[in-house]
Structure 1
């Protein structure tokens, strides 16, 4: 016995609703995680022109440093790099910048982010500056953004490049190297 047109339409609707519900549940979990992170941290001020992806990963870096979550911070690193160096870099960044990352932070995004975007974090409460490189990497489903984390030496992790201005916006978000 074949189902009638009304029953077929009801089945199609039920399947579509089920598929949409499954997709929205995944999105809702990401949204809930983001909202939890966002509401439990100071807002990130932004100078320059980040993409959605470079802004998103930069926020996560600041949040993971502030929370002292070395494993989660290291997971944001470029997986083409040495895992032990990435983990040590994450630990160095947390040791050096945790207090500042928990307070007011401005992220200045230099140049454009299709190849690599330089981001300078200004940690206002501690008067520290941290330079990051955010880069796109190929993954199974396209492109993801990761952070270069190759600073296993604590002195290297806290060094500030000579071109980096002392305050956000001095160079108009254009690097001069």
Structure 2
């Protein structure tokens, strides 16, 4: 029978635990917040070619709308000034709809800015926003008062035989 000393066994068990704790402690809090947000919300349907940063900014807009988070939505504003009045207007207009299915059509080149059309299924409305880099090299949106456009209801798609 092979005997392993208690000291070696303790060291063998302690080292992986310490390394795991150290690696967890080094994880980026923003990344963990993003993963939590992602898992707590409905998926955003996407068309077009978003950059990683523009996609994340638009996802956060939809998530803040769904959560009714005025300060969180206002923090995504890339322009100066107090964006809370515009954020409140957005939440009033789209907060409930953002809890349902939302799709985002990403248009244009995304080097400096990207136009995005949000389609809210519930109220059948669209809203165009501009995603762009803001302070500290983070992307956000130009947050102005919403200008919803009603989507005209059309009949069922024609069938072909």
> Which category of TM-score, normalised to the shorter sequence, fits these structures?
0.7 to 0.9
- 1:118 is aligned to 115
Give the TM-score taking structure 2 as reference length: 0.74
Deviation at 1:112, TM superposition (A): 1.3
* Runs of 5+ consecutive residues of structure 1 not aligned to the other structure: 1-16, 152-156, 168-177
Partner of 1:81: 80
Q: Does residue 139 of structure 2 align to residue 149 of structure 1?
A: no
Describe how 1:48-127 pairs up with structure 2 within 5 A: 48-78=48-78, 80-83=79-82, 86-127=83-124
Contact 2:125–2:148 at 8 Å: present in 1 too? no
- The structure with more radius of gyration: 2
- Report the CA distance between 1:50 and its aligned residue: 0.1
Structure 1 segments of 4 or more deviating over 3 A?
21-24
Q: Which runs of 5+ in 2 are unaligned?
A: 1-17, 154-161
Measured against aligned partners, the alpha-carbon deviations of 1:118-174 in whole angstroms (never above 9, x if no partner) come to: 0110011221111111111352xxx221210132xxxxx1344xxxx879xxxxxxx
TM-score (ref. length: structure 1): 0.67
- Identify if the C-alpha distance between structure 1 residues 38 and 113 changes in structure 2 by more than 3 Å, giving closer, same or farther: same
How many residues are matched?
Answer: 134
What's 1:36 paired with? 36
C-alpha spacing 1:145/1:31, structure 2 compared with 1 (3 Å): closer
In structure 1, the partner of 2:9 is none
